[in-house]
A and B are shown apart, each in its own frame.
Chain A
Amino acid sequence: MDEAPRRGAQRGRALAAWLAPLANLAGSGATLVGLAIVLFWVAAALLAPLLAPYPPNATDVLAAAHPTPSAAHLLGADQLGRDILSRLLWGARRVLTVAPIAVLSAVMVGSFLGLAAGYYRGFVDLLVSRLADILLSFPVIILYMIVLTLFGSSAFNIILVVAITKAPIIARIVRGLTLQLREREYVAAAKMRGESALYIMLVEILPNARGPLIVDMCLRMGYTTIIIGVLGFLGIGLPPPDPDWGGMVKDTYGMMSVWPHMSLIPCAAISSLVIGFNLLAIGLRESAFRD
Chain B
Amino acid sequence: MTEAAPILELDRLRLSYATRLGELNVTPGLSLTLARGEALGLVGESGSGKSTVAFSIVRYLGPLGRVVGGRILFEGRDLAAMSEAELGTLRGRRIAMVYQDPMSSLNPVMPIGRQLMEVPMLHEGVGTEEARARAAAMLVEVNFADPAAIMARYPHQLSGGQQQRIVIAMALIGKPALLIMDEPTTGLDVTVEAAVLDLVSALRKRHDTTLLFISHNLGTVAQLCERIAVLYGGELVEDGPIRDVFRNPRHPYTRGLLDCLPRLGRSKQEGKLKPIPGHALSPASRPPGCGFAPRCPHAEAGRCLAGPIAQVDVPGEPGHRARCVKAAELAPWRPAPGAAHEASDAATRPLLLRAEKLEKSYRPASGLFAAGGRVVRALNAIDLELRRGETLAIVGETGCGKSTFARVLSGLETASAGRVELDGEEIGTRRVEARPQALKRKLQMVFQNPDSTLNPSHKVGYSVGRALRRLKGLDAASAKRETRRLFEVVSLAPELAERKPEQLSGGQKQRVAIARALAGGPDIVIADEPVSSLDVSVQAAIINLLSELQAERRDSLVFISHDLAVVRYLADHVAVMYLGKVVEFGATDAVFAPPYHPYTEALLSAIPEPDPERRRARIILEGTLPSTGEAPAGCPFASRCPRKVGEICDTTPPPEQALAAGHRIACHIPAAELSSF
Given a CB threshold of 8 Å, the question of whether A touches B is answered with yes
Min CB distance, A125 to chain B, in Å?
Answer: 11
Q: Is the CB of A190 within 8 A of B410?
A: no
Q: Which residue of chain A is the closest to B432 with respect to CB atoms?
A: A191
> Which residue of A184, A189, A191, A207 has the most chain B CB atoms within 10 A of its CB atom?
A189
Verify if A97 is at the interface (C-beta below 8 Å from B). no
Q: Is the CB of B440 within 8 A of A192?
A: yes
1/0 per position for A184-204, CB-CB distance to B under 8 A?
Answer: 111011111111010000001
Given contacts A186-B455, A204-B455, contact A191 B444 (CB under 8 A): no
Q: Is the CB of A188 within 8 A of B466?
A: no
A200 CA to B455 CA, complexed, in Å: 11
A191 CA to B457 CA, complexed, in Å: 17
Given the complex, which residues of A lie within 8 Å of B445, measured CB to CB?
A: 188-189, 192
Given contacts A185-B449, A204-B455, contact A191 B412 (CB under 8 A): yes
Given the complex, which residues of B lie within 8 Å of A290, measured CB to CB?
A: 20
Verify if B311 is at the interface (C-beta below 8 Å from A). no
A174 CA to B457 CA, complexed, in Å: 17
Q: Which residue of chain A is the closest to B457 with respect to CB atoms?
A: A207
Q: How many A-B residue pairs have CB under 8 A?
A: 62
State the B residues within 8 Å of A (CB). Answer: 20, 368, 410-412, 432-433, 437, 440, 443-445, 447-449, 452-458, 463, 466-467, 470-471, 513, 516, 519-520
Verify if A154 is at the interface (C-beta below 8 Å from B). no
A183 CA to B457 CA, complexed, in Å: 16
Given the complex, which residues of B lie within 8 Å of A207, measured CB to CB?
A: 455, 457-458
Given the complex, which residues of B lie within 8 Å of A189, measured CB to CB?
A: 445, 447, 453, 463, 467, 513, 516
Verify if A208 is at the interface (C-beta below 8 Å from B). yes
Select A193's contact among B448, B449, B455, B520, beta carbons within 8 Å.
B520
Given the complex, which residues of A lie within 8 Å of B444, measured CB to CB?
A: 192
Given the complex, which residues of A lie within 8 Å of B458, measured CB to CB?
A: 207
Q: Is the CB of B466 within 8 A of A185?
A: no
Q: Is the CB of A188 within 8 A of B470?
A: no
Min CB distance, B430 to chain A, in Å?
Answer: 13
Select B452's contact among A185, A190, A191, A193, beta carbons within 8 Å.
A185
> Which residue of A186, A191, A208, A290 has the most chain B CB atoms within 10 A of its CB atom?
A186
Q: Within residues 127 to 142 of chain A, which ones have a CB less than 8 A from any CB in chain B?
A: none
Given contacts A186-B455, A189-B447, A290-B20, contact A195 B470 (CB under 8 A): yes
Q: Which residue of chain B is the closest to A206 with respect to CB atoms?
A: B457
Given the complex, which residues of A lie within 8 Å of B520, measured CB to CB?
A: 193
1/0 per position for A204-216, CB-CB distance to B under 8 A?
Answer: 1001101000000
A204 CA to B470 CA, complexed, in Å: 15
A and B contact pairs by CB, cutoff 8 A, 20 listed: A184-B452, A184-B455, A186-B453, A188-B412, A188-B445, A189-B463, A190-B463, A190-B466, A191-B411, A192-B410, A192-B432, A192-B445, A193-B440, A193-B471, A194-B432, A195-B470, A204-B455, A207-B455, A208-B457, A290-B20
Q: Is the CB of A194 within 8 A of B456?
A: no
Q: Is the CB of A194 within 8 A of B440?
A: yes
Q: Which 8 residue pairs across A and B have the least CB separation, nearest first?
A: A207-B457, A185-B447, A186-B455, A193-B470, A185-B453, A193-B467, A184-B452, A185-B452
1/0 per position for A96-135, CB-CB distance to B under 8 A?
Answer: 0000000000000000000000000000001000000000
Q: Which residue of chain B is the closest to A207 with respect to CB atoms?
A: B457
A197 CA to B433 CA, complexed, in Å: 9
A184 CA to B501 CA, complexed, in Å: 14
Given the complex, which residues of A lie within 8 Å of B470, measured CB to CB?
A: 193-195
Given the complex, which residues of A lie within 8 Å of B368, measured CB to CB?
A: 126
Q: Is the CB of B412 within 8 A of A194?
A: no
Given the complex, which residues of B lie within 8 Å of A185, measured CB to CB?
A: 447-449, 452-453
Q: Is the CB of A208 within 8 A of B466?
A: no
Q: Which residue of chain B is the closest to A126 with respect to CB atoms?
A: B368
A197 CA to B449 CA, complexed, in Å: 23
A188 CA to B403 CA, complexed, in Å: 14
Given the complex, which residues of A lie within 8 Å of B513, measured CB to CB?
A: 189
Given the complex, which residues of A lie within 8 Å of B412, measured CB to CB?
A: 188, 191-192
A274 CA to B545 CA, complexed, in Å: 56
Min CB distance, B317 to chain A, in Å?
Answer: 46
A208 CA to B443 CA, complexed, in Å: 27
Q: Is the CB of B440 within 8 A of A186?
A: no
Q: Which residue of chain A is the closest to B443 with respect to CB atoms?
A: A192
Q: Is the CB of B437 within 8 A of A194?
A: yes
Q: Which residue of chain B is the closest to A24 with respect to CB atoms?
A: B20
Given the complex, which residues of B lie within 8 Å of A193, measured CB to CB?
A: 440, 466-467, 470-471, 519-520
Q: Within residues 158 to 188 of chain A, which ones have a CB less than 8 A from any CB in chain B?
A: 184-186, 188
Given contacts A184-B452, A185-B449, A290-B20, contact A192 B411 (CB under 8 A): yes
A207 CA to B467 CA, complexed, in Å: 19
Min CB distance, B550 to chain A, in Å?
Answer: 19
Given contacts A191-B432, A193-B520, contact A208 B456 (CB under 8 A): yes
Min CB distance, B581 to chain A, in Å?
Answer: 25
Beyond A193-B471, A204-B455, A208-B457, 18 additional pairs, beta carbon < 8 A: A126-B368, A185-B449, A186-B455, A188-B410, A189-B445, A189-B447, A189-B463, A189-B516, A190-B463, A191-B412, A192-B410, A192-B440, A193-B440, A193-B519, A193-B520, A194-B440, A195-B466, A208-B455
Min CB distance, B569 to chain A, in Å?
Answer: 24
Min CB distance, A204 to chain B, in Å?
Answer: 6
A231 CA to B112 CA, complexed, in Å: 53
